[in-house]
Structure 1
Amino acid sequence: MLSSDLTSVSVFLVSVVLCWRLWLFFRPREQHSLRSVAIVVLGDIGRSPRMMYHAQSFAELNFYTDIICYGGSAPIQTLTGPNLDIRYLPEPPRLHALPFLISAPFKVALQVFSIFWMLFITPNPPEFILVQNPPSIPTLAIVQLVAYMRGSKLIIDWHNLGYSILAMRFPRQGERHPLVRLAKWFEATFGRSAYAHLFVTRAMRDHLVKQWDLRGLKIVLHDRPPRTFKRTAPQGVHDLFAVHLKKSLDLQPSLKGFLPKYKPPQSSAFTATNASPDAQLQIDPIYSVADTPSLRQDRPALLMSSTSWTADEDFSILLDALCKYEASTSKKLAQALRGDHWQRPAAGQRVRCVSMWLEAEHYPLLLGAADLGVCLHASSSNLDLPMKVVDMFGCELPVCALQFDCLHELVKDGVNGLVFKDADQLAQQMEMLLSGFPRCPRLDELRANLKPVSSPSPHSPPHAPEEIWESWDEHWARVVRPIVLSDVRRNEG
């Protein structure tokens, strides 16, 4: 009997100690001894450039940065260092045989457990939790609870609206579908309160503040490219096509006999050196320097269109425009895509399409080597902006972009690009911009307006902050840095 009582008392004491330790671990905290942030991405981190740039900026600010995400694509090489850690969530099982109404709840349950576990095993509660939205379910509810239990400040980075993307699955009912209405309620309820809300557009900020009565700091942080995105010099163009992409291009059957002759390593389809007998008279004199690569005058115009092959991009518009362009011009055009496949390649006499997946380090090089960009992004919410255009602008690449409501916050029609509504208009724009290639005055005017203006001279006309074309580092330092260091300044003062 005594032994039984002692066992009960021991179990009770152990339970009390465990509960106390759990409370000490999870109790809300007002101060944190370590500058730290947990960045939650319910997606492939390698395909979430904005969140990778956030992580890099926090780490450079000497924050311990913990990224919780799914794997897949390789992250940018700069995401390394003693104060930065990437922890991958387990991949959910693929349940293609099951209907969406059964597989989706199972996937959500697994995500709930995985994210909770990852956030709870962090020994030091993060001072900030930065979450990407969408996806909204179940992420927003989890981070709200964890932020409360661990005393963290929650920052929601609004890329788009999750319910508007879900509505594309139900084209007949759209936002009237019961699941979409439930998703909208979930997103509005668990996204309403945060320490700070970051928005990719002013239109999104104004819409959500009015519709959902958001609480917390409300800040517009436009997408901006990192410093690595810039115009590619002729030497970089030469290395790209003569070395890095040569094998991929040689395997493209549509390019056989289309590109000008070249003999690597002295020349490529787009560059040549004075040591190249076959291209000696075809070097662009503007770029020509003895024994160094220069752009060829007989090179084809290079049009670039990045894609993730999602439902909000209708590439039939581009296909139709290329067919119309070919029928109206004799200028050669090579059209490159960054994606997994090309559904209906257009292979006429003067136009060729090539699809390839690029390594992260080669993507900005190809953008910087291109002559014209095309964006077919149609926002599901009419409130977000295409990151691909931001990347192109960072590489000083003018863009023809499909019109939607808030596009003017990024693409200024006739200034840094052109806006089109259909394939006919896109074909006309390509013909006008590429006329006389490689001498294209109108294209050069658009490119000149994409030069960085981060440090205007005292005699320059005044610019509103959002009109200054900054790099991501400059933009983040001006917009986000003050809000994550505000308490430090207050404490130090």
Structure 2
Amino acid sequence: MAIPWVWLYETSLVILVVGTLVLAGFIVTLPRTYNLQFSEEITKDDFTTADKEDAERSGYANFEKLKNVKGALRIKATVQVVVLGDIGRSPRMQYHALSLARYGGKVQLIGYVESELHPDVKASRLIEVIPISPFPKWLQTNNRLLFLALAPLKVLWQVASLYYTLGYGTKACGWMLVQNPPSIPTLAVAQWMCLLRDTRLVVDWHNFGYSILALRLGAKHPLVRIARWYEGFFSRSAYAHFAVTNAMCNVLRYEWQINALPLHDRPPNHFQPLTRAQCSEFLSKLPETSQYAIDIQKGAWRLLISSTSWTPDEDFSVLLDALVKYSQQVSNLQGKPKILAIITGKGPQKEHYLSLIKRLNQENKLQNVVILTAWLSSDDYASLLGSADLGVSLHTSSSGVDLPMKVVDMFGTGLPVAGWSKFEAWPELVHEGLNGRGFDSADGLANILHELFGDDGSQLKKLKQGALRECDRRWDDEWLPVAGKLFRLKV
């Protein structure tokens, strides 16, 4: 039976009208664009009494120094700093936000708020923290098959929550600084939003998202290849790029014709060397170290610190195997110090390794080693590093061209480092025998512990002197000539 033309005409007309209304509604509700002519200012009234009492952290001191004759401070740059992850575990992006606020910018710091933020970020009146709704925890898994099944749902959730937050939960800014990775869906959503709002996009490359995905799925998996194409395609048209190493800049230029500015991680000001008296006081009051404080000060015990995110790109078994070997050596040799190893951080594999540590203790394989875990405030973590004898980095680098920021923090307190060195970018940070030592196996780390803790202390002292020299150049010293210049900020 033929379809009546009248019915077809009416149906088409309804579809056209509905489609037009939907499109019109979409256009009308599009996020507002950034107005280049709009100049934002802050005045004394924007600061509370508490802000004025905590003038350095709140930004009030800077306001008083830079305000004009009318008693107002003209904002030089408005910037959205975007992390599709836990802001508290993204120190570099927090440091970006603090530097922007310190030198005349106003910041919307956008991401998941799951752990404690840097105290200066919370105190600053020029930084607004805007949370993104996280993917429900009951849908998260480490199982590979379930991961593949839930991945599309997670991406859809992230697209919706990030799009809503950037488009409707925030005011338009002149700049958007995005952490990469994660790349999917951050880069696509950020590009689209910047196009709609007339915002300049800057990508801060910490690593490559596809290389991290390859740790779970394998380098030749189709999803990894798609992720690699996606990452290059959606990042190429950004206004500017930062990268954490020179090696990463070279890869970006060769692979995707992206000219990134090298912006190396450097320690912020709250990571400082401690005096012997300060170390003694801190170790005595910290619950994890209080009962060992006197022996650490005497040298009968050595304090070893490692910070980890408990993820596959940090093989914590390397440190466990090395500590087992060291414990055996101490049993066979007289006068060798014992080790108190404190591991800080949170992550998915923590419980797995805690069970391994428990089993090693039950088997009496750690008789001369005590391993404790801790989650500390930013200030306590800095003091712990400043009180330790050696820092250990297990970061293996999925790409080979990123670097662990934890080593930078350790150098900020003058703490020498032993780290996994079997990747290209490692020599950009650690100079062998001068400020640290590199290893590529558990035996290699065990030998380093034996050499540094087993002699008269001269080797460890030499490394510490080299680490102290790394304190001279701080985060703002690196940030201002690169990022400060890009965002058109001046001291």
TM class by smaller structure: 0.7 to 0.9
Amino acid at match of 1:434: F
For 2:440 and 2:23, how far apart are their aligned partners in 1?
A: 67
1:349 and 2:361 matched: no
> How far off is 1:110 after superposition?
1.6
1:312 and 2:324 matched: no
Amino acid at match of 1:133: N
- RMSD of aligned alpha carbons: 2.7
In structure 2, the CA distance between the partners of 1:29 and 1:182, relative to structure 1 (3 Å rule), is farther
For 2:437 and 2:214, how far apart are their aligned partners in 1?
A: 29
In structure 2, the CA distance between the partners of 1:353 and 1:122, relative to structure 1 (3 Å rule), is closer
> How far off is 1:16 after superposition?
12
For 2:161 and 2:367, how far apart are their aligned partners in 1?
A: 53
In structure 2, the CA distance between the partners of 1:178 and 1:21, relative to structure 1 (3 Å rule), is closer
For 2:223 and 2:24, how far apart are their aligned partners in 1?
A: 44
Amino acid at match of 1:131: V
Question: Partner residue of 1:326?
Answer: 327
For 1:91 and 1:20, how far apart are their aligned partners in 2?
A: 27
> How far off is 1:476 after superposition?
0.8
Task: Output one character per residue of 1:290-326: Cα deviation in whole Å (capped at 9) or x when no partner.
Answer: xxxxx73254111111111010111221122122222
Contact 1:270–1:299 under 8 Å retained in 2: no
For 1:198 and 1:41, how far apart are their aligned partners in 2?
A: 15
Q: How does 1:85-100 map to 2 (within 5 A)?
A: 85-93=128-136, 94-96=138-140, 99-100=146-147
For 1:28 and 1:228, how far apart are their aligned partners in 2?
A: 35
> How far off is 1:349 after superposition?
3.2
The worse-fitting range, judged by mean Cα deviation, of 145-154 and 356-365 is 356-365
Contact 1:337–1:355 under 8 Å retained in 2: yes
Task: Output one character per residue of 1:328-379: Cα deviation in whole Å (capped at 9) or x when no partner.
Answer: 2332221111135434225533222122222222111111100011111100
Question: Partner residue of 2:99?
Answer: 57
Task: Output one character per residue of 1:228-281: Cα deviation in whole Å (capped at 9) or x when no partner.
Answer: 1122223432333322x22x458xxxxxxxxxxxxxxxxx6324xxxxxxxxxx
Unaligned runs of 5+ in 2: 1-20, 41-76, 331-335
Higher RCO (Cα < 8 Å, 6 or more apart): 2
Q: What SS does the corresponding residue of 1:36 show, helix, strand or coil? A: strand
Which of 394, 398, 407 is matched with 2:416 structurally?
Answer: 398
For 1:351 and 1:297, how far apart are their aligned partners in 2?
A: 17
> How far off is 1:76 after superposition?
0.4
Q: How does 1:18-37 map to 2 (within 5 A)?
A: 26-27=32-33, 33-34=39-40, 35-37=77-79
In structure 2, the CA distance between the partners of 1:148 and 1:321, relative to structure 1 (3 Å rule), is same
In structure 2, the CA distance between the partners of 1:297 and 1:122, relative to structure 1 (3 Å rule), is same
> How far off is 1:208 after superposition?
1.1
Q: What SS does the corresponding residue of 1:451 show, helix, strand or coil? A: helix
Q: How does 1:467-478 map to 2 (within 5 A)?
A: 470-478=473-481
In structure 2, the CA distance between the partners of 1:32 and 1:218, relative to structure 1 (3 Å rule), is farther
Task: Output one character per residue of 1:380-422: Cα deviation in whole Å (capped at 9) or x when no partner.
Answer: 1111001111111111111111122210111111111111121
Task: Output one character per residue of 1:98-147: Cα deviation in whole Å (capped at 9) or x when no partner.
Answer: 92233221121121121122122366421110000000011000110111
Q: How does 1:61-72 map to 2 (within 5 A)?
A: 61-72=103-114
Q: What SS does the corresponding residue of 1:362 show, helix, strand or coil? A: helix
Question: Partner residue of 2:165?
Answer: 118
Contact 1:32–1:125 under 8 Å retained in 2: no
The alignment's TM-score, normalised by the length of structure 2, stands at 0.78
Amino acid at match of 2:313: D
Question: Partner residue of 1:107?
Answer: 154
Q: How does 1:194-233 map to 2 (within 5 A)?
A: 194-214=238-258, 218-233=260-275
Contact 1:230–1:364 under 8 Å retained in 2: yes
For 2:124 and 2:140, how far apart are their aligned partners in 1?
A: 39
Question: Partner residue of 2:431?
Answer: 412
Q: How does 1:333-372 map to 2 (within 5 A)?
A: 333-340=339-346, 341=350, 342-345=354-357, 346-347=360-361, 348-372=366-390
1:139 and 2:145 matched: no
Contact 2:413–2:468 under 8 Å retained in 1: no
In structure 2, the CA distance between the partners of 1:176 and 1:306, relative to structure 1 (3 Å rule), is same
For 1:418 and 1:360, how far apart are their aligned partners in 2?
A: 26
Structure with greater helix share of residues: 2
Question: Partner residue of 2:448?
Answer: 429
In structure 2, the CA distance between the partners of 1:239 and 1:22, relative to structure 1 (3 Å rule), is same
For 2:185 and 2:34, how far apart are their aligned partners in 1?
A: 22
Contact 1:29–1:152 under 8 Å retained in 2: no
Question: Partner residue of 2:50?
Answer: none
Q: What SS does the corresponding residue of 2:119 show, helix, strand or coil? A: coil
Unaligned runs of 5+ in 1: 1-13, 251-267, 272-281, 283-294, 455-468
Number of aligned residue pairs: 413
Question: Partner residue of 2:228?
Answer: 184
For 1:32 and 1:143, how far apart are their aligned partners in 2?
A: 22
In structure 2, the CA distance between the partners of 1:96 and 1:308, relative to structure 1 (3 Å rule), is closer
For 1:119 and 1:355, how far apart are their aligned partners in 2?
A: 37
Which of 229, 232, 238 is matched with 2:280 structurally?
Answer: 238
Contact 1:38–1:65 under 8 Å retained in 2: yes
> How far off is 1:22 after superposition?
5.0
Over the matched positions of the two proteins, sequence identity in percent amounts to 40
In structure 2, the CA distance between the partners of 1:160 and 1:19, relative to structure 1 (3 Å rule), is closer
Amino acid at match of 2:408: V
The alignment's TM-score, normalised by the length of structure 1, stands at 0.78
In structure 2, the CA distance between the partners of 1:238 and 1:153, relative to structure 1 (3 Å rule), is same
Contact 1:385–1:407 under 8 Å retained in 2: yes
Question: Partner residue of 1:151?
Answer: 198
For 1:58 and 1:108, how far apart are their aligned partners in 2?
A: 30
> How far off is 1:165 after superposition?
0.6
In structure 2, the CA distance between the partners of 1:88 and 1:27, relative to structure 1 (3 Å rule), is closer
Amino acid at match of 1:78: D
Contact 2:415–2:468 under 8 Å retained in 1: no
Amino acid at match of 1:61: Y
The worse-fitting range, judged by mean Cα deviation, of 309-318 and 343-352 is 343-352
Task: Output one character per residue of 1:172-197: Cα deviation in whole Å (capped at 9) or x when no partner.
Answer: xx221111111111111101121110
1:82 and 2:125 matched: yes
> How far off is 1:85 after superposition?
0.5
Question: Partner residue of 2:461?
Answer: 444
1:269 and 2:311 matched: no
For 1:381 and 1:354, how far apart are their aligned partners in 2?
A: 30
For 1:410 and 1:175, how far apart are their aligned partners in 2?
A: 27
